[in-house]
Chain A
């Protein structure tokens, strides 16, 4: 069973307790307008191109059988013709080209995760993120099981839009869910993520009933969900969780937009969406006044 992974990042400090190794998995059922990791949306592997690293040596052109790399003043990429074979990546001297989404076995992932085992004291361990890890349901369950068998602490960052059967199974192997609530207003949720939040909230009750430890992660997008009603709704949700860890506010940043450019799309970053320090403090204050432990 294979996993499609975009990146395995060591020494992560913001994906759960302690020092963690975060496995970014490819594929997501949501299409959030503010996506921070656009390279993880599609399940299939993709070619990434960093124009700032390109020195125009054309080694890619020479090595490509499909005519993907074209020069017309600048280096252009024919995304339709590209089959993500990786030949150009092998020959690019500057690493300006990358295949995002290589296949890993559970064993491959574990061998990387194991490297930092000595640093996993103080509650550290492995975090699965993405993308939406549960898109690769069976493989992800197998990976989680293997991690637990190896005695590693596990966390999964999920948008919650997943098959409830997979989630029920996952609860057995996940020490901490990092559960995203993008918006409590369903109309806006549909508008900005492409799906309703109903299934996400139902799934949250499912794992809550099973006793899962849950940390809520809530993105803050200026002008979209920076309203008091949303914060109060978040507090209602948080307070229903039996094994509640804390709520983390994730201020929107525009770097995700730059990443879309590397994938061949327009820059989707919107500076006006970055919340102000005042908005962040207000959100924290309201949540705290509702009795929610918020970071």
Chain B
């Protein structure tokens, strides 16, 4: 049993042999391959299926999934429940009629697990029954009835597990726990972990991919009480919690080669302050870090909320785990994020509750509809502002060019608003309230999102408290570097005119190698702490945020801005033109808010400083900075100090989100050549981790490329 590392370090052993074996087998795809054996439940035998409404079809599907999905009890598992249908891994409700999935499913959210743990699913059932009474004979009756149907499906699935476990003496504890949870409130740590897992598993069984959110906040008090009462030891608690993480690998199957098999948006958030401003960090926080450190499970990408007062002990522990690589840990600077959310209109108490959408985009868990619109800011410059480098395009000075670009940016963001306006009834609002047209059903998710049941509206129809669509600017550093290169070459140093430059770019720098090299090498681009170019980045982000803010009140959605590429730089590379900063057509350029590959020469601190110069509190969704570190840079006690210092610096400079990864490019090349030896090796891709061998060659090359500079 070997759990990979990037730094060759030896992982500590705290868990029992059985638990480690369970982890190893899960990572080696035992249960993932089992999940693929049954892809979906067939509804073909259902008479009159075609006559039902979309919502009724959905309910039939969920009910049948609950009744017929294979029950799986893994050997030695301490918690039970399993999402055993293969199409769920492909992001669909795993039920088919004549071979076609009946409905799409939901991701990019963290549901309200707090209510499940503290009040039990029965409290949700009561709310649903009340709502049904209230909405009977109204147009909301169908949805309210669907809520009751889906809860009944959950009960049926729960009952099937009780039946399966009842006579198995080895699983007595699992059975006992499940006689209470998740329908009743959890009374112990063990029950709470089971409740959380079982609900998560049911939601996933139905094809959805929710995040977990603040697991230490959710579970901390239960553990504290059990430890005080002496009913549970810390070691026992670690074993139980480890099974949560191991069971989270039940979809690992190595079959979907592409952008990796580990991206089911099941992110976890640790530490940070609670709604009263009290630090949450507790024993559960440290247990999670122990488990990640020992097993290297990357399927729950974990982000730690840091602030100016974060305890040294926690920071050091985070640094220790980070050093093993695999990108399992990222950090939020909650000081800035809470400020950003308050600026965006949330109350301070609400803002302090933030988690994410299962990736890294910030949201208030259990209350938020979230989607995002990505766009390539570099192509916007190339194809719109500079008209695909057509003859005759010119601007008298840099300011004229820049303001033409920002007005294109405004138009782009406005287009997003117009695009989603079809979701609303003709006049949009009724007495000031936005009214959604019917959307594809998603009742299972709606059960666990605050206000949906009471309002009688689904998750996708304005049910949640907050409804967000976040425009995501991609190619940020490349558009900034392009603008900077034009500013220097054309307007300041007057080496050539803009039309001359555009002609050269249109011909992909052909015959102009000296000029291309000059642009590539002689300017100091974003990511090197050069105030001149960083000022363009800051200004652009501010203008982008203003463009997003200008949509406020003009839609049922709010449009908080974010910065991301999520690996789209790969698909964009084939449609981008040559760029003024010395880049040819087809090159894979920058990821997220990180520098263009090959341009960062000053090291990690300069990258962080460039990124932090922008006022990131204007971007309530977030801006991701990837940071690749060599194992040798973070070796030994010196390495821990360095990582702690980097994180502290990031917080005090006003960063938003950083995903540091310790990566050895040579090791990745070795894994590319011999994937069979590196099944569990994982790397940070963006908001998710991927097992390296499940990336296709293009993705692998991109990851290696990013790490060789």
Contact = CB atoms under 8 A, between A and B. Distances in A.
Interface stretch (B15-23, B86-94, B109-117, B514-522): B514-522
Contacts of A121: 644-645, 648-649
A93 B605 contact: no
A272 B344 CA distance: 63
A13 B642 contact: yes
B518 to A, nearest CB: 4
Contact of B514 (A13, A14, A17, A93): A93
A19 B521 contact: no
A10 B603 contact: yes
Contact of B646 (A9, A115, A119): A119
A19 B653 CA distance: 16
Nearest to B651: A118
A123 B312 CA distance: 14
Nearest to B634: A13
Given A57-B514, A116-B605, 16 more contacts: A9-B603, A10-B606, A13-B634, A13-B638, A17-B638, A18-B642, A19-B642, A55-B513, A57-B513, A93-B522, A94-B520, A94-B521, A95-B522, A115-B605, A116-B649, A119-B646
A18 B514 contact: no
A150 interface: no
Contacts of B294: none
B282 interface: no
Interface in B593-633: 602-606, 608-609, 632-633
Contact of A93 (B517, B608, B649): B517
A11 interface: yes
A115 B515 contact: no
A124 interface: yes
A10 B601 CA distance: 10
A115 B609 contact: yes
B649 A95 contact: no
**Top 10 A-B pairs ranked by shortest CB distance?**
A11-B603, A93-B518, A122-B641, A93-B517, A119-B649, A122-B645, A94-B517, A95-B521, A57-B514, A118-B649
A295 interface: yes
B500 to A, nearest CB: 16
B529 A11 contact: no
Nearest to B602: A10
A59 interface: yes
A9 B641 CA distance: 18
A36 to B, nearest CB: 16
A192 interface: no
Interface in A79-103: 93-95
Contacts of A120: 645
Contacts of B553: none
B645 A119 contact: yes
Determine the main DSSP class of A at the interface with B: loop
Interface in B498-541: 513-515, 517-518, 520-522, 529
Nearest to A118: B649
B428 interface: no
Contacts of A9: 603
Contacts of A118: 648-649, 652-653
B101 interface: no
Nearest to B606: A10
Nearest to A21: B605
A122 B315 CA distance: 11
A116 B605 CA distance: 7
Interface string B627-670: 00000111010110110111011001100000000000000000
Nearest to B521: A95
Nearest to A19: B645
Residue among B517, B602, B645, B646 facing the most chain A CB atoms (10 A cut-off) = B645
A122 B646 CA distance: 10
Determine the main DSSP class of B at the interface with A: helix
Nearest to A90: B522
Interface in A103-133: 115-116, 118-124
Given A17-B641, A18-B641, A120-B645, A115 B529 contact: yes
A184 B648 CA distance: 41
Nearest to B612: A118
Nearest to B607: A11
A93 B633 contact: no
A11 B602 contact: yes
A17 B608 CA distance: 20
A18 B646 CA distance: 9
A254 to B, nearest CB: 17
Given A10-B605, A121-B648, A59 B514 contact: yes
Contacts of B605: 10-11, 19, 115-116, 119
Contacts of B644: 121-122
Nearest to A295: B636
A55 B509 CA distance: 15
A19 B650 CA distance: 13
A276 to B, nearest CB: 18
A95 to B, nearest CB: 4
Interface string A133-176: 00000000000000000000000000000000000000000000
15 contacts: A13-B634, A13-B642, A17-B638, A19-B605, A19-B641, A19-B645, A19-B649, A57-B513, A57-B517, A94-B517, A95-B522, A115-B605, A119-B648, A120-B645, A122-B644
Contacts of B641: 17-19, 122-124
B76 to A, nearest CB: 40
Contacts of A116: 605, 609, 649
Contacts of B520: 94
A122 B648 CA distance: 10
A116 B642 CA distance: 12
B322 to A, nearest CB: 14
Nearest to A58: B514
Interface string B332-344: 0000000000000
B512 to A, nearest CB: 10
A24 to B, nearest CB: 15
Residue among A11, A17, A94 facing the most chain B CB atoms (10 A cut-off) = A11
Contacts of A13: 632-634, 638-639, 642
A24 B603 CA distance: 16
A69 to B, nearest CB: 15
Contacts of B521: 93-95
A115 to B, nearest CB: 6
Interface in A51-76: 55, 57, 59
Given A93-B522, A116-B605, A19 B646 contact: yes
A233 B67 CA distance: 78
B514 A55 contact: yes
B606 A11 contact: yes
Nearest to B604: A11
Contacts of A295: 636
Contacts of B603: 9-11
Contacts of A55: 513-514, 517
B177 to A, nearest CB: 43
Contacts of B609: 115-116
A12 to B, nearest CB: 8
A18 B604 contact: no
B320 to A, nearest CB: 14
A63 to B, nearest CB: 13
Interface string A11-48: 10110011100000000000000000000000000000
A275 B45 CA distance: 74
B514 A124 contact: no
A14 B529 CA distance: 22
A57 B638 CA distance: 45
Contacts of A122: 641-642, 644-645, 648
A295 B635 CA distance: 11
A44 to B, nearest CB: 25
Contact of A14 (B517, B606, B638): B638
B334 to A, nearest CB: 18
Contacts of B645: 18-19, 119-122, 124
